[in-house]
Structure 1
């Protein structure tokens, strides 16, 4: 695998239509499994210091558990107030039923 790619989870460990937290080096990543696809973002909300894995996933939007701001999990785009900054998203690959995230 190319530089910067990290093996973070088995694909079977991802619950369908839900989010989990994983470690990628010293970074905590939120992994989302939606409609057969896997997406990855930083796990900390850009507005308040809340973990997105504790939020509510609806379709391709994650709602922060602290102030109910929502991000698009595909792009990290902030979708509503009180959010003013996007969350970082990361490329994802599935190789041999393992989830790989490019963090750098």
Structure 2
């Protein structure tokens, strides 16, 4: 059954930035693009399990801080080697100024 989890205040994520969010044993990356839209993915790079929240956001791309691989955080699609495997994405919603993600 899918569950909505409250994460952070929307204002805690700067435009074109990413923040880390931990829940239980899982780590997530929460993004805000230049348009102000929010997205969520798994928190670790699929290549070396590095925290994506330490990476650089450029448009709708997160660049991994370890080997500079790139992922489209809106779709989870790998965009530049050494990342070859897509990352899990999560539905998001905003209510009362807070960002929620839907997890399984």
Contact 2:61 2:72 survives alignment (8 Å): yes
Between Structure 1 and Structure 2, how many residues are aligned? 103
Q: Please name the residue that 1:5 is paired with.
A: 4
Q: Establish whether residue 83 from structure 1 lines up as the match of residue 79 from structure 2.
A: no
What does 1:19-98 correspond to in 2, within 5 Å? 19-34=18-33, 35-98=35-98
Supply the RMSD in Å over aligned alpha carbons: 1.3
Q: Deviations over 1:35-92 (max 9, x none)?
A: 1100000110000121111111100000001111100010111012111211111000
Contact 1:70 1:78 survives alignment (8 Å): yes
What is the TM-score normalised by the length of structure 2? Answer: 0.92
* Structure 1 unmatched runs, 5+: none
Q: Within 2, Cα distance between the matches of 1:56 and 1:47?
A: 16
Q: Within 2, Cα distance between the matches of 1:4 and 1:25?
A: 13
What is the TM-score normalised by the length of structure 1? Answer: 0.92
Q: Within 1, Cα distance between the matches of 2:11 and 2:83?
A: 32
